[in-house]
Structure 1
């Protein structure tokens, strides 16, 4: 019996999707609004040659979510950049195979 193909290629893809669905369910945005915003991001990425079917799709998803959070005054651009920087530093300083954790 073959192993089922995972729906998401990476755990962060699933986490990002789940967070987006959660925010939608909490009323932060409507799904039709999300699809319009995401479509704009996909078109922007496609035009610049950034969309190739791998992590790029979820990077576009993340860019859309970040913009939605900023538009809804849930996170400033500076807060998003600070968090991105903290995750990058945590990722780069974590030994291979270990979970990435942000400092307290």
Structure 2
């Protein structure tokens, strides 16, 4: 399955005639990470589709699909953990470090992981 076919058949994917539509920069980054990891052979599109589908259908998923990219990110984290690239603890620690860095970064400045005040 090609990326174009995946996008065309992804239920809930916010898209226009030109491709996916992102409301926030992190959504585009999560999308790009999934495409890059697929291109590097970490998972097949079939694995991706099955994992994402499971996240979209889990109890608590929103009927209007407004949480689509949150499910996308959960699917990405799940595949990364299942392929032993990083475990969920490592992913959570890195996410927390980025949050601390974001809070420590002055408005208008780029958020960099080295801004995390707890980073050693």
Report the TM-score, using the length of structure 1 for normalisation. Answer: 0.81
Distance 2:42 2:34 in 1: 9
1:48 aligns with 2:60: yes
Q: Is the 8 A contact 1:70 1:77 kept in 2?
A: yes
Superposed, 1:1-104 pairs within 5 Å as 7-44=21-58, 47-50=59-62, 52-54=64-66, 56-103=67-114
Distance in 2, Cα, partners of 1:59 & 1:92: 21
- Displacement after TM superposition at 1:72 (Å): 0.2
Segments of 5+ residues of structure 2 without an aligned counterpart are: 1-19
| CA spacing shift, 1:37–1:83, aligned 2, 3 Å | same
Name the Cα RMSD after superposition.
1.9
- TM-score between both structures, scaled by the size of structure 2: 0.71
Distance 1:35 1:51 in 2: 18
Structure that is richer in helix per residue: 1
